[in-house]
Amino acid sequence: MSDTSAEHSRALADQLRETALKNLGRSGPHRSAISGRFITPGYASRNPATTTTEMAGGSSTTSRSTERLSRKSRKP
């Protein structure tokens, strides 16, 4: 039984490595976790209006704090 579990974990590790390499090497457009817009490899150069703070997530923290404030005020 122990050798089958070892085989299984080896197969799992291979699968994980494959997935990780695939994710690292992907060059297609993927969703930005911050803004939810589709970001392509040449995004910043085509859209110089996009600020670095927006890319770094300055906007997401702001919206989060305002959401918290509005939630507090809504309570009776």
Per the CB < 8 A criterion, the answer to whether 53 and 59 are in contact is yes
Per the CB < 8 A criterion, the answer to whether 49 and 43 are in contact is no
Mean pLDDT by 10 residues, the chain (76 residues): 79 83 59 53 54 47 52 55
pLDDT of residue 59: 47
* Nearest C-alpha neighbor of 8 from the set 16, 18, 21: 16
pLDDT of residue 53: 46
Domain residue limits, the chain: 2-74
**Start-to-end C-alpha separation, the chain:** 60
Q: Kindly report the number of other CB atoms within 10 A of residue 43's CB atom.
A: 14
Alpha-carbon span 33 to 36, nearest angstrom: 6
Alpha-carbon span 41 to 52, nearest angstrom: 15
pLDDT of residue 58: 46
pLDDT of residue 57: 47
